[in-house]
Amino acid sequence: MRLYLRYKVIVIFILALFAAGCAAKAPYLRLDSSLEGDIRVYNDLQYVPLVRLCDTYKIDCKWDSYIRTAIISKSGRIILRAGSDRILVNGNDRKLSGAVIFTNGAVFVPVSFVRNYLGLIVGAEPIEKVHKIPAYRPSGRYMIKTIVIDPGHGGRDAGAVGKKLRLKEKYLNLNLSKKLKNILEEHGIKVIMTRESDVFIPLQDRVRMANSSGADLFISIHANASRSRAMNGFECYYLSEATDDNARATEAFENASFEADEGAIAVEHPKGLDKTLWDMRLTENRRESAELATQICSAVEKNIVTRNRGTKTARFYVLKWTTIPSALVETGYISNKFEELKFKDEAYIDRFAEVIAKGILSYKDKYERTEGFTQ
């Protein structure tokens, strides 16, 4: 009996050892000795300057002073925000032993951050060979499989209306979106539409569909209108915080017209999601969204005879609240009689859908090839 008990204790001990080994998920990275002189103590905790870590381990480091957020990337990506102990490591939220500190123009992170998380993006070999941990491999994680297409307006909300032929934006958006859907499906992409008929869908529901569908991208299709009948051309938007006076003025202008157009209602960030994490997720998507908008814009530029008004940033409701990379396409100004006439031509819409698809596919290709632009 006593022997049995001892045997039981040994088994538990071995199991505990095994569990301890499994718990050490991060490739353990030791602080490089050249950094020891940079250590500072804040709140009884040892910190190192982030910029020195990035130099030492050859990590790409970007700091957005407007939202006090750092994105560091190599084989993976970590997002940190000044004043917060929550970080996003390859999209997963993790907790630091102390908050990120921003002081005298420099960002400091706890030394334990190096040990626990940095190895996950510099692909360091685990020091403890006893428990062989497979190297971090992001392959397969960076795939665009599902796209949400959002035909703007619908039902009682007609959107912009053409002055000459009374073409309603809601029909044009749906028509073009359906064609875009067919092309993307031919390329093996699963497409989810926020509406497939002439129905009114509130903006919140469109956002909810995008966020809960497990999709990888969100594309909203619109057509523009202006008081100036001469105004024409194509625009592609992504969400960004305004960073200078000029951008801020543009944003205010675009938001005002959008709110009048779409009747946007401000909502709080989703319940249960930490405010900082929510902001960080938006930051993470921003770079992808900018790239997506740029790819679509350049495809249109190369393939369609229309004035390219360029890639722009604004805080549109559907871009602001989607948690996946998103872009909003303004295909043209239907308030301009020449553009309205073009949009009455089915062949022109076919061509437009093809070209938008081309832009999306070249984004997809680049994203997958560079594993989320980290290479």
DSSP structure string for 19-83: HHHHH--SPP-PPPGGGGGG-EEETTEEEEEHHHHHHHTT-EEEEETTTTEEEEESSSEEEEETT
The minimum distance between CB 299 and Zn ion, in angstroms, equals 21
d(CA 176, CA 306): 16
Residue 151 interacts with Zn ion (CB under 5 A): yes or no: no
Residue 325 interacts with Zn ion (CB under 5 A): yes or no: no
Angle 258-239-352 (CA atoms, 0-180°, nearest 5)? 75
Residue 332 interacts with Zn ion (CB under 5 A): yes or no: no
d(CA 101, CA 84): 8
Q: Which one, 69 or 220, has the nearer CB to Zn ion?
A: 220
Residue 195 interacts with Zn ion (CB under 5 A): yes or no: no
The minimum distance between CB 169 and Zn ion, in angstroms, equals 5
Site string for Zn ion, 102-141 (x = CB under 5 A): ----------------------------------------
Q: Which one, 56 or 226, has the nearer CB to Zn ion?
A: 226
Q: Which one, 159 or 162, has the nearer CB to Zn ion?
A: 159
Give the range of 132-140, 148-156, 198-206, 235-243 binding Zn ion by CB under 5 A: 148-156
Q: For the purposes of burial, counting CB atoms within 10 Å of the CB of 67, is it exposed (0-12), middle (13-18) or buried (19 or more)?
A: middle
- Measure Cα distances from 218 to 4, 192, 208, 212, 285 in Å: 61, 9, 11, 12, 11
Residue 159 interacts with Zn ion (CB under 5 A): yes or no: yes
The minimum distance between CB 266 and Zn ion, in angstroms, equals 18
Q: Which one, 220 or 311, has the nearer CB to Zn ion?
A: 220
Q: Which one, 98 or 159, has the nearer CB to Zn ion?
A: 159
Number of continuous H segments (helices) and E segments (strands) in the chain: 11, 15
The minimum distance between CB 240 and Zn ion, in angstroms, equals 19
Residue 154 interacts with Zn ion (CB under 5 A): yes or no: no
Torsion of CA 2, 8, 14, 19, to 10 degrees: -150
Residue 152 interacts with Zn ion (CB under 5 A): yes or no: yes
Give the range of 6-14, 32-40, 67-75, 156-164 binding Zn ion by CB under 5 A: 156-164
**Cβ atoms of residues 143 and 126 within 8 Å:** no
Q: Which two tokens stand for residue 137?
A: 């491999």
Q: Which one, 72 or 314, has the nearer CB to Zn ion?
A: 314
Residues 207-236 that bind Zn ion (CB under 5 A): 222
The minimum distance between CB 330 and Zn ion, in angstroms, equals 8
DSSP structure string for 36-50: GGG-EEETTEEEEEH
Q: Which one, 75 or 331, has the nearer CB to Zn ion?
A: 331
d(CA 297, CA 235): 7
Q: Which one, 96 or 219, has the nearer CB to Zn ion?
A: 219
Residues 272-311 that bind Zn ion (CB under 5 A): none
Question: What residues make contact with Zn ion under the rule CB under 5 A?
Answer: 152, 159, 222
